[in-house]
Amino acid sequence: MSAAIKVAELAVCSSWAPGALLAAGDGLTLPKFWPLPQNLLRPLGRWAGLLVGWILLLAIGLTPGVARAQGADAFRQFLEGIWPEAKAAGVSRATFDAALRGVEPDLALPDLVLPGKGNVKGQAEFTKTPAQYLSASYLANLSAEGRSLETRHEAWLGKIEKELGVQRQFVLAIWGRETAFGSHRSNYYIIKALATQAYLGRRKDMFRSELVFALRMLQDGVRTRDTLTGSWAGAMGLTQFMPSEFYSVAYDLDGDGRADIWTSVPDALGSAANQLRAKGWVPNQSWGYEVRLPKDVSCLQEGPDNARSVAEWMRLGVVRIAGAFPPQALDQQAFILTPAGVYGPAFLALENFLVIKRYNMSDLYALFVGNLGDRIAGGGAFVTPWADVQQLSATGIEGIQEKLQTLGYAVAKIDGKAGMNTRALIGAYQKANGLKVDCWPTEALLTHVRAKAAAMGPAVKGADAAPNGGGTLGQKP
């Protein structure tokens, strides 16, 4: 017997009892005004039960099953709203319908903002500590395989360097980081991933645009519904391209008339190199160097806005750990990078670090690719070890960012990610409040900054902190 029938039967019974109704409700949630006062029901006499029945039937309309149906309808309406954009991009109605047939949002995907869910499930670049993400054993295994692949693909890598101006070791490092040289492949249906992210993700506009490009790929016959597969974020192929990137920078290195980033190693590597070139790669430049900082240079000065030439940093006492800086690097602009605050290695990062970061907007990602590339070319691990620090949740980091902004600090973005801007501002706050300056987000810091914001102490902006972490290096005046 359905919950609706049981409630109706009990409601119209002259001897109804709230306890019986609650027992019969199969987990129903009654309205906030339940139970109705008896003095309101008595004047209605025999009509009271009928009134209660109608109220409860209204409540049944808000049960989880109905809510799911309403949610599905809302998602279909959302998808239908994308049709004009898809049509303008050249997608036929038949392709549109076939691509989206049976597609439902996948609430298990990372980076979704779900009602009632506090913490957003994030990607590894922002949920792992530096020591976890930059696993020494994993980097060692990848570098050994990378050197072997460098020999196997020598001719194609040479062609990449000649045509595109990107050093072979960094192209291989992108491949290694993205799919472990092709051994890690996701078979997730791209249309479903992008539709979910466009509907519920943090970056809805970006994923909406990518969904249209993915539909266009089906329209153009680049892939079929069965083969249009990739990651939870919609990235595809050996070197993980978004649909829009496929149309803008995919590269036919092997000259067979089509850019195949899925099965052609030359095309996948050439495409990765072409994307780095399009994002501003500086030929023959490294990504950066591990350094030792003097007493007067610290994590407070982290970020591109405090960039100066390598030679200037040397005059301030910054020393490269693994030997001298190359002569050609002395005039290059560089900035301080401390991914774990004071709890790990420090670096002078160059423009190409920011270029790698534009491939995937994460300091740890760019550092991983840079170090893997160095290892493939004969370099080694970082000398300074990573300390065993705790990674604060995205919600906790957002709380710190919000309170710092309240106190007048130039927070670039409240996103729950402890990038260069956030770390430097944390250091500035710690210095201004007599705390240990470590430029690292913790629960203790969150508690402190909440109390400070509640008291609304004097706003301090932290002049040494960089307002952003993803710009382009320029000359200092």
Domain boundaries, the chain: 3-62, 130-278, 288-349+392-477
Q: Taking 60 as the threshold, does the pLDDT of residue 341 lie above it?
A: yes
pTM comes to 0.81
Please report, for residues 101, 199, 212, 346, 394, the alpha-carbon distance to residue 106 in angstroms, rounded to integers and kept in the order given.
15, 10, 18, 39, 21
**Non-local CB neighbours of 460 within 8 Å, separated by 6+ positions:** 407, 408, 409, 428, 429, 432
- pLDDT at site 124: 55
Q: What is the mean pLDDT of residues 280-292?
A: 98
Q: Taking 90 as the threshold, does the pLDDT of residue 120 lie above it?
A: no
Q: Taking 80 as the threshold, does the pLDDT of residue 273 lie above it?
A: yes
**The amino acid at 239:** T
The DSSP symbol for 322 reads S
- pLDDT at site 185: 85
Q: What is the mean pLDDT of residues 372-376?
A: 98
pLDDT digits (tens, 9 = 90+) for 299-324: 999 999 999 999 999 999 999 999 99
Burial category of 113 from C-beta neighbours within 10 Å (exposed 0-12, middle 13-18, buried 19 and up)? exposed
Collapse the DSSP code of 51 into the 3-class scheme (helix H, G, I; strand E, B; otherwise coil) and give the result: helix
Q: Is 89 within 8 Å of 213 (Cβ atoms)?
A: yes
pLDDT digits (tens, 9 = 90+) for 54-97: 444 444 444 555 545 567 899 999 999 999 999 999 999 999 99
Q: Is 354 within 8 Å of 473 (Cβ atoms)?
A: yes
pLDDT digits (tens, 9 = 90+) for 230-250: 999 999 999 999 999 999 999
Q: What is the mean pLDDT of residues 408-431?
A: 96
Number of H helices, E strands in the chain: 21, 7
**Non-local CB neighbours of 81 within 8 Å, separated by 6+ positions:** none
Which residues on neighbouring strands pair with residue 289, listed in sequence order? 348
**Non-local CB neighbours of 45 within 8 Å, separated by 6+ positions:** none
- pLDDT at site 164: 98
Q: Report the candidate in 340, 279, 342, 348 with the shortest Cα–Cα distance to residue 307.
A: 348
Cα 56 from Cα 192, distance rounded (Å): 37
